[in-house]
Structures are given as structure tokens and as C-alpha cells.
Structure 1
Amino acid sequence: MRFTSGPIPRHARPECTMNIYYIRVYGLEDGLQWPLHVHGLVAARDSADHNRNFLFNRTRDNCQILTQEDPHLLLTGPCRAVVIIDPITIEFQLKVRSRTEPEEDELLAFRIFNYPQTYLSKHVIQSSILCKRCMIEFAYAPLVPSVEATVSIEVIDGVWPEHIRGRVIACITTVSEGEMLLLDSRDGMMPISPSTRIIELSRRVVSVDLKGGKLLVSVAPSQIGEVDNNNDDDFVRGESVFEPKRAGKSHNMCDLGFCKIEVTVTWSLLSNLTDEWRAGLKRTDKR
């Protein structure tokens, strides 16, 4: 949300970006067995600032349990759009927690990959990554040119009942058969701040094609314990469609029956270190 409001510098513009759809662990080897208590990190580095942009980041005391039926990492990022100006580096450092001592934690995946693709993809690309003790499926789609969209959802009327779970999904209309999971409360209560009434999403940032693309945000409630909430006819599925903007905010209200929610999308252009460096030189020369 760097360039949402106020004076927007000339070097901020739509850029080639990458949406990450999911990361799945499969093909266990070398004695590993389900379930896995996984901790560690998955991060992306790009030329926007060269820092780690975490997609997954858990400590040993906050492991995610992966099962053969549900082997997907619960992504918490990226925290900003992943820019494909130069090749993107994806870093995996994942471990399986030992039942006894930390020193006995087992390595699950330790790899670094570069993704140079900058072309427009109309479908989700699934890359299989061979690691020493497992396979990792990394699903993504490059977009050009695109803007950053940050999603926020607030309960504005009524109450979200404790016995109702929820899933929040984002889709880009120009990419077929791809969903980005922003939140899955699973068999727990929806994480709603009591002070702000904002639903605390696991991840909030996606990219949207500026020309021809639209962002679809779906909120799907269901009874806690339901295996497939798409087959639950007792609840209304809230859907909001947003046209991308270069800056500013977009709002849409959804009536779920038991409560009303407002979906807000904050738009921003993008920049990289090279353009910011050049802009800094120009300001210095003028002085």
C-alpha cells in the first residue's frame, strides 16, 4: 500500500508480478511419515528491495501439522506484491519437528530456485521441485502489467456466530482454475478482532492485471465440521468483484444472512530499487 494515496512518484508503475496460489508437500522419502509437524520458512526475493518476502514462516513452537489428506502449507504471505523485473528467488527452509529434542528435528526441504518467467499466463503453473526427502509442488501465475491489491474484510452489521467456520478465497479472472486461499478457519471460530470487527486474514495481498483483469473475493461460511462447504446450502456465499485501479480503495458489501460484511481492496502501484535510486539521483542533481 505504498502508493495508495498522496503524491505518487513517477517511478511507481504497473509491473510484472507473480501470484502464489499454493505450496504442497508430497512424495515423502527417507523414512518420513505422515503426519508432519512442519516449521521453518518459504520466502521470495525480488528486485523491489531484495529482502525476504515471507510466504510461510513458523517457529518450532508453532508448527503446522501436514497430513496426507491435507498437505498444503497455510500461506501467510506475501506481505507485498512479488515483482518480476529480474528473476525471482524462492527459498525453502523447512524442518519436521522431533517428538523429543530440538537437535533431532529432521530436514524436510532446503532449496533455492530462480523463476525468470515474465510472460502472461492464463492458467496456474505447477512446478514440481525435487528435494532430498520430499517433493514440493509450487503453484503460481505471472501477470503483466499488474497492480497490488490488499484485501480487508469487516463485519459491519450483525454477529458472526461461533459455530460457523469460514473460508475467504481470491481469484483473478484472467487466470483460469486458480484460487488463492486468504483464510480458512477450519474447525475453529473465525478470527475476528473484537475491537475493530475486522476478520484477520492469513494473507491479504494479491496482484491483479490492470488491463482486462478483475479481482473476485469470495467469503464462504459453513457449519464447523463440514468437510466441503461448497455443498452446504444453509448459507449464502458472499462474492465481490473489483475492477483494478492504479491507486485508492474499492468497497463492496455482502449480506451473508446472519451478518453483513464489507470487503475493501486497497490498490497500489509498484516500484523497484533501481527506479528509486535513479529518482533519488535526479532529486540530488536538482538541488
Structure 2
Amino acid sequence: MWDSDDDGEVMLKARAELEELHIACVERITEMDPKKKLLVPTRFCSFNIAGFDLDKESKFGLGPPLDSNITPELGRYFASSAVNVISVKVIESDRGYPISVYGTVLARDRIDYRCVYLFRRGREDPQMISSKDDMLTLTGPRRALVPPVYIYFEFNLRVKGDASDEDFSKGVIELHVYRPNPKPITDVLSSWLSRVELVLAPVEGPVAASLEVEILKGAPPFIGKICVGTSENPETQMIVYDSRGMKSGCSSVALSRNLVAVPDPDDDEDEIVVHVRFLDDDDDDVDDEDAGTLVSIAYPAEEKVCSHGAWELQVNVAWTAILIKPRAKYIMKRGMSMPRAFTYPRYEPHF
């Protein structure tokens, strides 16, 4: 079920050699950030990355359906927490607005520290950002993100220009998200030509809800927005569909993201619920709790029909467990073989 380590040969080396290899790897991913006027590692390096493929994509997928027979062995691997990525925004741009942005935003979590993509666009398919309020159109994660305790977000964005392209946002946000308070967490990466804001919503005792939306009545495509979250509070809801950036003429609405982690309450009387909100195309105030049509689906229900404007819509939900795996064989050694006296380039001012 789980992807095994592919770096065993490297990790069998002596600690001193591993430390030297790590330093060499960090130097290769270190660049001068013109905004900070510092040399900074632009990629993940929070454990010994000698022999670690920073570009390898995570193969870990969804857990078993909640209504299946879950063995005691699998029960040991239920995640105690997860996070939903609510939004990523370019809140400052040294090149002004509008701008065309492309590149990647990815997450790394404790499951395997491999790449879980949130945003991935090539130069020929950039996203137009018109103001600081515009969100990147995220297309992931394809599975739940599991902290505890740290989770890492890696940015490599470029801005497309008429004459030449420029590095726009590069670096890593490292977040401590082991919090009993479910309020959203906000952090900002200030780098190169921008300030990029990341907003997360922690979820305790999570399960995964995978969503589909079908048009039962009304001419496709659906015109408007769809938000999904763990409560009726817009702060915990993420936009998973915006018709202004979508092209769909079929009866199934093409969600840009279809998975949300929702809490499984300790109290048996409380329900596992996912909340889906439909908004009109001209409704820009997604923070208005009373706006649109709200649909709440409680486990074990797998579908619900609602009416919004000219459409009759059916929301389908697949409920699955969120699992973690035992720490990979060499993860502990990677943490313990970090150089103790090494000064990382990011601490060296350069004027």
C-alpha cells in the first residue's frame, strides 16, 4: 500500500559522510533572494536530503471506505489530524497587476515527505492574477494532508513576461499545525518579486469526503461558484469550482478540487458532516455566511439533491478513512544525521 524508500544505499553511509552530502545538496538548492538580500534554500531541507529525490511525487492515496471492514491493524494507522488548504493568494506583486503566473505549489507531509501538488501550470497555461484578492486556482491535494507536527509548502512560481520570464515566488513555508484550536492558520512567504499568502484549516480526527456534483435540471455548464468546508463558517470553506475559470458543457460539474478532510467527532451523538455552498456567478463575497444555497451531508448519506437558481443539482460523497503509515525506514536517521555545526546559507546576509 505504501511507497518504500528508494535511498537505502545512501543512508547506509557513515554519519560524517551523510552530513557532507547533505551540505552539498543544500548548496545546490540555495539561491540569492533579491527581496531578502539573503542566500536561501528554495526547497525542502528540514532533514538530511542526501539521496532524497525532491521531485518524486507521493503515491500514497485514499484510505478504505468508512463502511468497509476496517481491520485492527488498519485502525492503528488512522490519522489524528489533517489540514485543508483554503487558499493561496498573491497579496503583493512587485510587477503590479494583472500578471500571468505559472509554476508549482506543493506540500510535503509526514506520510512520505514526497510531492503533493496543489498548483501546477506550465508556461503555456498560466493563470491571470488581476488583484491581491484573486486566489490561485488549486487542483489538489488529491489526498488528505497529514501533519503532525510540521507540514511543508514549497513554492516555485514564475511570472510570464513579453520579453522574458522572471522568478516570482520561491521558497518553503514550514508550519506547525498541531493545534487543538480549529481556527484557520495564515502564513506568508515573502520572496523574489512577491508576497504569497497561504491559509490552512486544521481538522482533528479527520475522515475524507470526496465530492462530485451533477446537474439534474438546467442547461450546463453550471454558472457560479461552489465552496466546500467542515462547517457553515466561510473561513473553513475552500472554492472548488468557479465557472469563470472552467469550461464544462456536460451534466457533471468539473470541480478543480474534490477532496476535503472533515472531523469525526468524539461524541457519538455528533455527526460527520461536509458542507457544500452554491453561489451565483456575480456573488464575489464568498465570506458572507448567508449567501448562496447551503447543502449539508452527514455520513453515511452519499448523495443529496438541492435547487439553486435555474439548476437542480445532486451532490455525491464518498467517505474514506485517512491513514498514515509508520515512519519510513530512514526518516529517523535523516533527522539524526543533520549537521550540527553547519550554518545554513539563509542566515548569511548579503548586501
TM-score by length of 1: 0.79
One of 28, 33, 40 as aligned partner of 2:93: 28
User: Among 123, 133, 137, which residue is 2:193 paired with?
Assistant: 133
Letter in 1 for 2:205: P
| Contact kept? 1:124, 1:175, Cα under 8 Å | no
From 161, 164, 184, the counterpart of 2:242: 184
Partner in structure 1 of residue 276 of structure 2: 217
Q: Which residue of 2 aligns with 1:199?
A: 253
User: Quick check: 1:241 aligned with 2:299?
Assistant: no
Write the deviation string for residues 32-59 of structure 1: whole angstroms up to 9, x where unpaired. 2221110001011112233211111111
1:51 lines up with 2:105 in the alignment: no
Residue of structure 1 in register with 2:63 after alignment: 2
- Residue 256 (str. 1) matches residue 308 (str. 2): yes
Query: Any gaps of 5 or more consecutive residues in structure 2?
Result: 1-61, 330-351
- SS at structure 2 position matched to 1:94: strand
Structure 2 matches for 1:141-156, cutoff 5 A? 141-156=201-216
Q: Partner letter of residue 240 of structure 1?
A: V
- How much does 1:214 deviate? 3.1
What is the letter of the counterpart of residue 73 of structure 1? L
Within 1, Cα distance between the matches of 2:212 and 2:159?
33
Which amino acid is 2:82 matched to?
Answer: T
Structure-2 change in CA distance of 1:151 and 1:21 (3 Å): same
The 2-side partners of 1:90 and 1:221 are apart by 32
Is 1:272 paired with 2:324? yes
CA contact (8 A) 1:14 1:210 kept: no
Deviation at 1:228, TM superposition (A): 3.9
SS of the aligned residue for 2:197 comes to strand
> Structure 2: which amino acid aligns with 1:120?
P
Change (3 A) 1:85 1:174: farther
Name the structure 2 match of 1:67. Answer: 130
Q: Does 1:171 align with 2:229?
A: yes
1:244·1:267 contact (CA, 8 Å) conserved in 2?
yes
Task: Give deviations 1:35-90, integer Å, cap 9, x for gaps.
Answer: 11100010111122332111111111100011126432111111111111342111
Q: Secondary structure at the match of 1:141?
A: strand
Matched residue SS, 1:266:
strand
Taking every aligned residue pair, what percent have the same amino acid on both sides?
Answer: 24
Which residue does the alignment assign to 1:284?
none
Question: For the Cα contact (< 8 Å) 1:15–1:147, is it kept in 2?
Answer: no
Which segment is superposed worse, 65-74 or 91-100? 65-74
- The number of equivalent residue pairs is 255
The normalised TM-score by structure 2 is: 0.65
C-alpha displacement of 1:2: 3.0
Task: Say if 1:227 and 1:141 are closer, same or farther in 2 by CA, change over 3 A.
Answer: closer
| Distance (whole Å) between structure 1 residues aligned to residue 104 and residue 299 of structure 2 | 31
Distance 1:175 1:80 in 2: 23
CA offset at residue 190 of structure 1?
5.8
Q: Deviations over 1:101-155 (max 9, x none)?
A: xxx3100111112212211333222212221321111111212111111111112
* More strand by percentage: 1
Bigger Cα Rg: 2
1:41 and 2:104 correspond = yes
SS of 2:177's equivalent in the other structure is: coil
| Matched residue type, 2:228 | A
Measured at CA, do residues 87 and 34 of structure 1 come closer, stay the same or move farther in structure 2, by a change above 3 Å?
same
TM-superposed deviation, 1:237: 4.1
1:218 CA drift (Å)? 1.1
| Residue 13 (structure 1) shift | 1.9
RMSD of the TM alignment (CA)? 2.7
Please give the alpha-carbon distance, in whole angstroms, between the structure 2 residues aligned to 1:141 and 1:229.
19
User: Is residue 124–residue 176 contact of structure 1 (8 Å, CA) maintained in 2?
Assistant: no
8 Å CA contact 1:219, 1:238 repeated in 2: yes
Q: Structure 1 stretches of 5 or more lacking a match?
A: 231-235, 278-287
